[in-house]
Amino acid sequence: MTQHSHDSVFVRTVDAETLPPPQNQSGIRGWLWRNLFYSVMDYSSVGASVRSLAMLFFTVLVSYVGITQLWYLLDFVFLSAVWSDPTGIKREACWTVSQGGTLPDDWHAACWPFVFAKLKFLAYGPYPMDELWRVNVTGLLGLAGIFWLLIEALPFRRLVGVLMLTAYPVIALILLTGGASDANYVNSGAYILVGLALITVGRLGQRGLLGVLASDFASIIGFVGWSLIVYQVLMLIFSVDVGLEPVGTGDWGGLLITLVVAVTGIVVSLPLGVVLALGRRSNMPVARLLCTIFIEFWRGVPLISVLFMASVMIPLFLPEGVNFDKLMRALIGVMLFSAAYMAEVVRGGLQAIDKGQYEAAEAMGLTYWQSMRQIILPQALTHVIPGIVNTFIGLFKDTTLVSIIGLFDLLGAGKSAIADASWSSPVQAISIYLFVAFIFFVFCFGMSRYSIFMENKLSKSRSH
Contact between 378 and another protein per CB under 8 A: yes
Cα–Cα dist 179/173, whole Å: 7
Contact between 364 and another protein per CB under 8 A: yes
3-state secondary structure of 287: helix
- Using CB under 8 A, pick the residue from 39, 96, 181, 382 that binds another protein: 382
CB closer to another protein, 146 vs 458? 458
- Using CB under 8 A, pick the residue from 319, 365, 419, 421 that binds another protein: 365
Contact between 464 and another protein per CB under 8 A: yes
At closest approach, how far in Å is the CB of 357 from another protein? 6
Cα–Cα dist 431/448, whole Å: 25
Cα–Cα dist 293/179, whole Å: 37
- Using CB under 8 A, pick the residue from 374, 437, 456, 457 that binds another protein: 374
- Using CB under 8 A, pick the residue from 49, 59, 227, 370 that binds another protein: 370
CB contact burial 127-153 (16+ within 10 A = b; e otherwise): beeebeebbeebeeebeebeebeeeee
Taking residues 403 to 442 in sequence order and writing x for each that binds another protein by CB under 8 A, - otherwise, the string is ----------------------------------------
CB closer to another protein, 29 vs 457? 457
- Using CB under 8 A, pick the residue from 72, 297, 362, 426 that binds another protein: 362
CA angle 45, 47, 53 (to 5 degrees): 95
Cα–Cα dist 113/111, whole Å: 6
Cα–Cα dist 135/251, whole Å: 12
- Using CB under 8 A, pick the residue from 94, 330, 375, 432 that binds another protein: 375
Burial class of 251 by CB neighbour count within 10 A (0 to 12, 13 to 18, 19+): middle
Count interface residues toward another protein (CB under 8 A). 21
Which DSSP string do the residues of 406-461 spell out, in sequence order?
Answer: T--BHHHHHHHHHT-GGG--TTHHHHHHHHHHHHHHHHHHHHHHHHHHHHHHHHHH
Who contacts 64 (Cβ-Cβ below 8 Å, separation ≥6)? Answer: none
- Using CB under 8 A, pick the residue from 77, 180, 366, 429 that binds another protein: 366
Taking residues 442 to 461 in sequence order and writing x for each that binds another protein by CB under 8 A, - otherwise, the string is ----------------x--x
- Using CB under 8 A, pick the residue from 360, 437, 442, 452 that binds another protein: 360
Burial class of 415 by CB neighbour count within 10 A (0 to 12, 13 to 18, 19+): middle
Taking residues 318 to 357 in sequence order and writing x for each that binds another protein by CB under 8 A, - otherwise, the string is ------------------------------------x-xx
Binding site for another protein (CB under 8 A): 354, 356-357, 359-360, 362-366, 370, 374-375, 378-379, 382, 458, 461-464
